[in-house]
């Protein structure tokens, strides 16, 4: 169980101790939770100088602007937050607007206590707070309208930004109530808690595919991403990064040729005390084109450092060595005694599963713009973790984080890449060195070779089956770099079951699945060599992207070894006993839905074709959505795999925006397919070999399969959808390949060569 989720569960959040304020400011009505630490009810704010933490405001023209503290990287989360507010507020969708929050702590996630976007957490963790914020606004507006109309508030009806009194046929728009200045009310924490939220049958907005508020800006070129920021007097920085991913140092910089480039200002060698980067130099010039020319003209001599000889092969070899040691790692799961059970098992299966390094490569290359203005450092960049990234920017500047203002922008793709803060360092240090605002833009080559990548992983899984074909024991060792430990934030680490110290649960999540296995252990083993050589990050879906690859492949292998249908075996394992009660049944139902949609087992497929299934939960057991996939593939005699169709079913409890969910699930499933078949990065001589989209090759339109998505909304709490469908696809494809041609491939990506070799074996 993950400490970071358990400790920060909604019941324990300090949001419950805060007051909610509705007040009149110069700009209209402002509504929000009081800053943390104010435990008592405040007097109703009556003037513009009261600044409660602002979640949304209603202007005198009736427009409702929701401030979103979540990074919007294409999941339309700002629009989703507005939709949840609008439901309870009773606002017309056409009156809703969104803006992106700064790093002011008042915009922190009410559950996580920081500004971080990931884990498919946003909707589930903000649903209740945004609902209550919306409802509090409605109550305040209604009471003010009642006073103005001279009627009892209980007789008023709120709909589409209008408050009406059916008996007298009087009505007031939100705009009119705001202009009246009477809508001031303070809700204590208890008042807020006591608000009766709508039940699902009363929803008029939740569950409706309203148009996403950010989309119009994204079809006419007006959406502003970090790379689009323009400041007066701004100059540009182009990076020169060393041939080694991490650990190199700059011995000397010769800028004599760069000085001949027109517009060249300065070459800045980074002095990065945050240790985020090593050996980086920024060439600063009046334009980006000139900065790039100057960067190319710099002659830099490096010391390659301790990782300069390492390769993917050496990282895998080290992983195997560590896994073989009996005292390696720490226990994430320890139920029963698998080793004893293996001794009495009728059949024992053992397999190694691997995944290679993967690169985020969002379409907007990393960038940041830094400007020192008085005491304040302003950063303009699309970022998923403003709380930490602001601190890194401060560290790079040598100032206190409280003097950093992060200006959030639309993110041209995140996928976990923008949880990191490396781009802050060159922007800040270049701006400091030249005394002007500097925008640093990575080339695609910088972006790929300096990615905080999905780590290379090695997993060993051993399974014991009894005489009745029942799975009685499973041991699972996961060896990888520890991406979250790199953040240096203790709250994001979890205590190990064997009390050997904190472990990085973001390397083993998912392995604590909902199958019932009486003897089960999972060891998290840190590959220190990989950790140092390839500083890793969180890539869309994080650990379940590799743990489910291993688990869901092994379950298939068990089914074939025991003569069972792989889907049927999963249904048996999802018996809902003990700690799995509830979750297991939902996953079982989701699997059955996917099977039904795909026509699994209902017809004989042509030679060389096959179907494979997989079913998964989410990053944490406590934040689970339930997702299953049936992959239908055709395998050529060459080993080449063509995905004919992916059928994905997902149980999300409550859907806020059904069309948005389908878009996320489809995108996630295609990410899963891209990682399964097309994306592979390799380390050689300490550096990432792939530099652009010719050698690192995400899925293109011509490789698009048919994708069928079915969303199950059964009235449970809303859960996240951005990630789970990523993880389910690779094992479903691998299992389908086996079903088609009897070839078991245990390494990602699944290449034609590997399939062909396994066909012969």
Partner 1 sequence: MPNLNINGRNMSVEAANDTPLLWVIREQLQMTGTKFGCGAGLCGACTVHLNGEAVRSCQTSLADAVGKKITTIEGLSAKGEHPLQKAWVAEQVPQCGYCQSGQIMQAAALLSKNTNPTKEEVVAHMDGNLCRCMTYSRIQKAIMRAASDMRTASATGSERRAT
For residue 701, count CB atoms less than 10 angstroms from its CB and return exposed for 0-12, middle for 13-18, buried for 19 or more: exposed
Q: Which of 191, 303, 575, 659 binds partner 1 (CB under 8 A)?
A: 659
Verify binding: residue 413, partner 1, rule CB under 8 A. Answer: yes
Q: Which residues of 38-72 are buried (b: 16+ CB within 10 A; e: fewer)?
A: eeebeeebeeeebebbbbbbbbbebbbbbbbbbbb
Binding to partner 1 (CB under 8 A) within 378-407 occurs at: none
Q: Which of 15, 419, 441, 456 binds partner 1 (CB under 8 A)?
A: 441
Q: Which of 144, 406, 699, 759 binds partner 1 (CB under 8 A)?
A: 699
Q: Which of 10, 113, 207, 211 binds partner 1 (CB under 8 A)?
A: 211
Verify binding: residue 702, partner 1, rule CB under 8 A. Answer: yes
Q: Which stretch binds partner 1 (CB under 8 A): 127-135, 423-431, 550-558, 688-696?
A: 688-696
d(CA 560, CA 295): 57
Verify binding: residue 365, partner 1, rule CB under 8 A. Answer: yes
Verify binding: residue 426, partner 1, rule CB under 8 A. Answer: no
**Minimum Å distance from CB 383 to partner 1?**
14
Nearer to partner 1, 141 or 649 (CB): 649
Q: Which stretch binds partner 1 (CB under 8 A): 21-29, 345-353, 363-371, 541-549?
A: 363-371
Q: Strand runs (DSSP E) across 11-78, as ranges?
A: 20-25, 28-33, 56-58, 64-68
| DSSP states along 337-372 | -HHHHHHH-SEEEEEEEEE-BB----SS--EEEEEE
Q: Taking a C-beta distance cutoff of 8 angstroms, is the pair 610, 741 a contact?
A: yes
d(CA 191, CA 685): 62
Q: Which of 3, 182, 224, 560 binds partner 1 (CB under 8 A)?
A: 224
Element (H, E) at 132: helix 122-149
Nearer to partner 1, 531 or 662 (CB): 662
Q: Give the chain's radius of gyration (CA, Å).
A: 27
Q: Strand runs (DSSP E) across 481-639, as ranges?
A: 494-495, 502-503, 519-526, 609-616, 626-635
Verify binding: residue 216, partner 1, rule CB under 8 A. Answer: yes
Verify binding: residue 734, partner 1, rule CB under 8 A. Answer: no
Verify binding: residue 362, partner 1, rule CB under 8 A. Answer: yes
**Minimum Å distance from CB 263 to partner 1?**
10
Q: Which residue has 């792939």 as its token pair?
A: 690
Instruction: Return all residues near 326 (Cβ < 8 A) that are at least 6 apart.
Output: none
Q: Which stretch binds partner 1 (CB under 8 A): 148-156, 419-427, 460-468, 689-697?
A: 689-697
Q: Which of 259, 704, 714, 717 binds partner 1 (CB under 8 A)?
A: 704
Verify binding: residue 363, partner 1, rule CB under 8 A. Answer: yes
At residue 150, the 3 state secondary structure works out as coil
Q: Which of 52, 412, 426, 510 binds partner 1 (CB under 8 A)?
A: 412
Q: Taking a C-beta distance cutoff of 8 angstroms, is the pair 613, 629 a contact?
A: yes
d(CA 566, CA 563): 9
Q: Show the binding pattern over residues 612-651: x = contacts partner 1 (CB under 8 A), - = does not.
A: ----------------------------------------
**Minimum Å distance from CB 80 to partner 1?**
13
**Minimum Å distance from CB 357 to partner 1?**
17
Nearer to partner 1, 157 or 704 (CB): 704
**Minimum Å distance from CB 229 to partner 1?**
9
Q: Which of 410, 521, 548, 626 binds partner 1 (CB under 8 A)?
A: 410
Verify binding: residue 340, partner 1, rule CB under 8 A. Answer: no
The angle formed by the CA atoms of residues 16, 22 and 23, to the nearest 5 degrees, is 140
Binding to partner 1 (CB under 8 A) within 286-315 occurs at: 287-289
Q: Which stretch binds partner 1 (CB under 8 A): 69-77, 163-171, 197-205, 319-327?
A: 69-77
Other CB atoms within a 10 A radius of the CB of residue 372 amount to: 17
Torsion of CA 447, 682, 119, 517, to 10 degrees: 180
Verify binding: residue 658, partner 1, rule CB under 8 A. Answer: no
| DSSP states along 647-661 | EEEEE-SS-S-HHHH
Binding to partner 1 (CB under 8 A) within 249-288 occurs at: 262, 287-288
**Minimum Å distance from CB 183 to partner 1?**
34
Across the chain, how many H-helices and E-strands are there?
A: 18, 32
Verify binding: residue 660, partner 1, rule CB under 8 A. Answer: yes
**Minimum Å distance from CB 289 to partner 1?**
5
d(CA 631, CA 645): 6
Q: Which of 28, 74, 510, 583 binds partner 1 (CB under 8 A)?
A: 74
Mutual angle of helices 724-741 and 544-562, in 10-degree steps = 30
**Minimum Å distance from CB 68 to partner 1?**
15
Q: Which of 6, 167, 299, 700 binds partner 1 (CB under 8 A)?
A: 700
d(CA 758, CA 32): 59
Q: Which residue has 């899925």 as its token pair?
A: 699
**Minimum Å distance from CB 363 to partner 1?**
4
Q: Which stretch binds partner 1 (CB under 8 A): 96-104, 133-141, 421-429, 667-675?
A: 667-675
Instruction: Return all residues near 31 (Cβ < 8 A) that are at least 6 apart.
Output: 20, 21, 22, 23, 52, 54, 55, 56, 57, 58, 133, 136, 137, 140
Instruction: Return all residues near 725 (Cβ < 8 A) that are at least 6 apart.
Output: 627, 629, 648, 650, 664, 665, 666, 668, 669, 671, 672
Q: Which of 197, 200, 217, 317 binds partner 1 (CB under 8 A)?
A: 217
Residue 705: which of 648, 758, 743, 650 has the closest Cα? 648
d(CA 529, CA 219): 45
Nearer to partner 1, 74 or 305 (CB): 74
Q: Taking a C-beta distance cutoff of 8 angstroms, is the pair 472, 345 a contact?
A: yes
Nearer to partner 1, 229 or 754 (CB): 229
Verify binding: residue 364, partner 1, rule CB under 8 A. Answer: yes
Q: Which of 670, 681, 754, 758 binds partner 1 (CB under 8 A)?
A: 670
Binding site for partner 1 (CB under 8 A): 73-76, 209, 211-212, 214-225, 227-228, 230, 236, 262, 287-289, 361-365, 410-415, 441, 443-444, 659-660, 663-664, 666-667, 670-671, 674, 692-694, 698-702, 704, 707
């Amino acid at each position: 169980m993950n400490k970071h989720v358990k400790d920060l569960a909604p019941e324990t959040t300090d949001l419950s101790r805060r007051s909610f304020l509705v007040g009149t400011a110069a700009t209209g009505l402002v509504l929000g939770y009081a800053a943390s630490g104010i435990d008592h009810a405040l007097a109703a704010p009556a003037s513009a100088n009261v600044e409660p933490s602002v979640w949304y405001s209603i202007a005198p023209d009736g427009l409702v602007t929701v401030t979103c503290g979540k990074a919007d990287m294409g999941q339309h989360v700002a629009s989703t937050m507005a939709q949840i507010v609008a439901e309870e507020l009773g606002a017309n969708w056409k009156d809703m607007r969104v803006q992106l929050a700064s790093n002011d702590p008042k915009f922190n996630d009410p559950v996580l206590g920081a500004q971080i976007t990931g884990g498919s957490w946003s909707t589930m963790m903000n649903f209740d707070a945004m609902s209550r914020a919306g409802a509090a606004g409605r109550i305040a507006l209604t009471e003010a309208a009642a006073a103005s109309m001279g009627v009892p508030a209980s007789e008023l009806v709120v709909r589409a930004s209008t408050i009406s009194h059916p008996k007298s046929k009087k009505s007031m728009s939100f705009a009119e109530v705001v202009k009246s200045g009477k809508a001031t009310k303070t809700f204590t924490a208890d008042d807020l808690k006591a608000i009766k939220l709508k039940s699902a049958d009363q929803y008029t907005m939740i569950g409706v595919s309203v148009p996403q508020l950010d989309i119009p800006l994204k079809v006419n070129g007006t959406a502003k991403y970090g790379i689009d920021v323009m400041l007066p007097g701004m100059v540009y920085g182009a990076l020169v990064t060393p041939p080694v991913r991490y650990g190199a140092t700059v011995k000397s910089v010769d800028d004599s040729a760069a000085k001949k480039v027109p517009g060249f200002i300065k070459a800045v060698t980074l002095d990065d005390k945050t240790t985020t980067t090593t050996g980086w130099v920024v060439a600063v010039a009046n334009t980006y084109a000139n900065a790039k020319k100057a960067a190319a003209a710099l002659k830099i001599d490096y010391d390659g450092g301790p990782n300069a000889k390492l390769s993917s092969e050496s990282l895998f070899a080290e992983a195997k060595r560590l896994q073989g040691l009996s005292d390696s790692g720490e226990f994430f799961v320890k139920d029963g005694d698998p080793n004893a059970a293996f001794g009495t098992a009728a059949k024992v299966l053992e397999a190694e599963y691997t995944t290679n390094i993967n690169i985020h490569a969002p379409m907007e290359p990393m960038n940041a713009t830094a400007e020192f203005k008085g005491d304040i450092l302003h950063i303009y960049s699309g970022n998923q973790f403003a709380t930490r990234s602001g601190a890194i920017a401060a560290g790079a500047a040598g100032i206190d984080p409280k003097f950093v203002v992060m200006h959030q922008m639309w993110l041209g793709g995140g996928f976990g890449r923008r949880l990191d803060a490396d781009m802050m360092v060159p922007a800040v240090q270049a701006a400091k060195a030249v005394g002007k605002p500097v925008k640093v833009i990575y080339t695609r080559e910088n972006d790929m070779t300096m990615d905080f990548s999905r780590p290379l992983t090695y997993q060993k899984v051993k399974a014991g089956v009894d005489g009745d074909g029942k799975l009685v024991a499973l041991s699972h060792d996961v060896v990888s770099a520890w991406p979250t430990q790199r953040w240096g934030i203790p709250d994001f680490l979890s205590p190990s079951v064997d009390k050997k110290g904190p472990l990085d649960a973001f390397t083993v999540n998912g392995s604590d699945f909902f199958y019932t296995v009486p003897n089960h252990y999972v060891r998290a083993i840190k590959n220190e060599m990989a950790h140092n050589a390839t500083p890793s990050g969180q890539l869309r879906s994080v650990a379940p992207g590799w743990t489910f690859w291993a688990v869901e492949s092994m379950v298939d292998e068990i089914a074939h070894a025991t003569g069972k249908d792989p889907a049927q075996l999963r249904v048996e394992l999802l018996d809902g006993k003990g700690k799995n009660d509830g979750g297991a049944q939902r996953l079982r139902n989701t699997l059955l839905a996917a099977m039904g949609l795909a026509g699994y087992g209902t017809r004989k497929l042509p030679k060389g074709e096959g179907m494979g299934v997989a079913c998964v939960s989410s990053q944490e057991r406590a934040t689970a959505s339930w997702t299953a996939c049936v992959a239908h593939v055709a395998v050529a005699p060459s080993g080449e795999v063509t995905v004919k169709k992916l059928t994905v079913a997902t149980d999300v409890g409550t859907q806020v925006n059904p069309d948005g969910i389908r878009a996320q699930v489809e995108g996630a499933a295609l990410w899963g397919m891209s990682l399964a078949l097309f994306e592979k990065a390799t380390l050689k001589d300490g550096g990432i070999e792939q530099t652009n989209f010719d050698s690192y090759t995400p899925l293109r339109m011509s490789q698009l399969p048919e994708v069928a998505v079915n969303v199950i909304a059964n009235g449970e709490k809303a859960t996240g959808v951005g990630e789970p469908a990523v993880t389910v696809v690779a094992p479903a494809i691998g299992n389908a390949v086996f079903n088609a041609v009897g070839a078991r491939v245990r390494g990602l990506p699944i290449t034609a060569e590997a399939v062909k070799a396994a066909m012969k074996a």
